[in-house]
Structure 1
């Protein structure tokens, strides 16, 4: 299954620019990460290696280290400046190990990871089936994938406002919960569980929402997006269309948050793949020890 096409180079550039200011706008992302960490309270697992997949600036690292004090935490992201922020997490004795790579092609050996924790990352993958297969490949038998992503109702108000102005995509597309669950099953995960909830942020102006999205690096990266600058007249038309959604003096921005988990089977065939042993990964960004 392929996701709505994302221009990965454009997305990487956006997250690279956003790295230094990301935490100032990541209210929703932190809330989702906290809810995912709470879910781990009900799961019996004693991992040796935890992969924070799409770690961003590493907000979840502290919580993962507190929960699994004997585990090594590897932060992986496709934007290196994000990892420079993540590298500062944890105590000086337990800085996370960092790896700049794409979630769709993990440079890790088979069956080396006990827990993959991935918060709000998979919507940036063009081939979710391949991404899940890679997660399955690197998990040890009995390992767990726990993730969140966004469903089709995410930013529905902004999408509708833009649709009233032109026919170009201005909001990235998102995959339905049921299709994500089917992809987990096809990737051979055992006992998959999917659920979703709706969360809403509110803004005084549309410009405030767009500023937050830009600060997060979550600007439009659809391959079919309209290139070039957006004129003031079109922005004014979007703002006017969005006004229809104003409630109690505020403009809502809806998010459909999709959660999923799946287990690597205890008995499974060895998957094909070219990978680098985890022991060969440099512990520092930029090389050297």
Structure 2
């Protein structure tokens, strides 16, 4: 998986915020499918964290599903949060927090449910991100998310590979690696599954334009700097043409779905969990021994 240049990624999303919803067809579909999975969960969350909220598409649906809950929209791009702030019922706007998913400015056990759509691929340290999610979830709380798998934009990646050896398309983690990260973070009962969705375009220019508006332009730390010349773009377009089917160019996405629970008794991170009651019993025993010796 590539290292993300967070400053560059944030700048991309700041620029694309106002037009993002006009092309975010796939992201909305992913959010709808993710939220539909809550139908099978018995949960009455008081506080929900929309992690990587973007323009806040999921907020209205979450408010409708959980009318008594308070929603926190968190994103690392201010411009995205300005769009999200307008979502939901006017008398109960979401609380907006500009922060990185890898370092959440929330108290331990602050939320009952974390919903995250198409965000984790922008995290460089997934273990740290999941540890932060576990920390801010109350015991028994739920994390539900989508992200992208390694087959995402496979055609574009392979077309670029025939042009040069530079990194032009991000690589993505396999769902088994993400599941392993959930286990390392000490989540309970992690579940992962995947499906493929395909968008089609009249030409390469349309695909590249959508990716730019989505803020999904290349943000890899080792990306090529500078503008792509006409000759290389022409070579890329020629290479992509071999995928054309029924007059359209496909862009395939591997969508990963995951959910996991915060255990009822959270283990101490980096150590052994010791019940408070046993510490109190030991403290009383030590006090008794000290009093006996002093006598």
Same fold (TM over 0.5): yes
Q: Which residue of 2 aligns with 1:239?
A: 237
- Cα distance, 1:271 vs structure 2: 4.8
- Cα distance, 1:79 vs structure 2: 0.2
Aligned 1:129-140 pairs, distance under 5 A: 129-140=127-138
- Cα distance, 1:270 vs structure 2: 4.9
Q: For the aligned residues, what is the CA RMSD?
A: 0.9
Q: Which residue of 2 aligns with 1:11?
A: 9
Tell me if 1:41 matches 2:73.
no
Give the conservation status (yes or no) of the 8 Å contact 1:110–1:271. Answer: no
Question: Which segments of 5 or more consecutive residues in structure 1 lack a partner in the other structure?
Answer: 273-289
Tell me if 1:225 matches 2:223.
yes
Q: Paired residue for 2:148, among 144, 147, 150?
A: 150
- Which is helix-richer, 1 or 2? 2
Spell out, residue by residue over 1:208-258, the C-alpha distance to the aligned partner (whole angstroms, 9 max, x if none).
Answer: 000000000000000111000000110010000000000000000000000
Aligned 1:53-92 pairs, distance under 5 A: 53-92=51-90
Tell me if 1:192 matches 2:190.
yes
- Cα distance, 1:47 vs structure 2: 0.3
Distance 2:163 2:177 in 1: 30
Q: Which residue of 2 aligns with 1:285?
A: none
**Quick check: which has more Rg, 1 or 2?**
2
Q: Paired residue for 1:93, among 91, 98, 103?
A: 91
Report runs of 4+ in structure 1 exceeding 2 Å deviation.
269-272
Q: Which residue of 1 aligns with 2:120?
A: 122
Q: With the length of structure 2 as denominator, give the TM-score of the two structures.
A: 0.90
Distance 1:44 1:105 in 2: 28
Distance 1:145 1:4 in 2: 24
Q: Matched residue pairs, number?
A: 270
Q: Paired residue for 2:258, among 260, 263, 279?
A: 260
Distance 1:270 1:183 in 2: 17
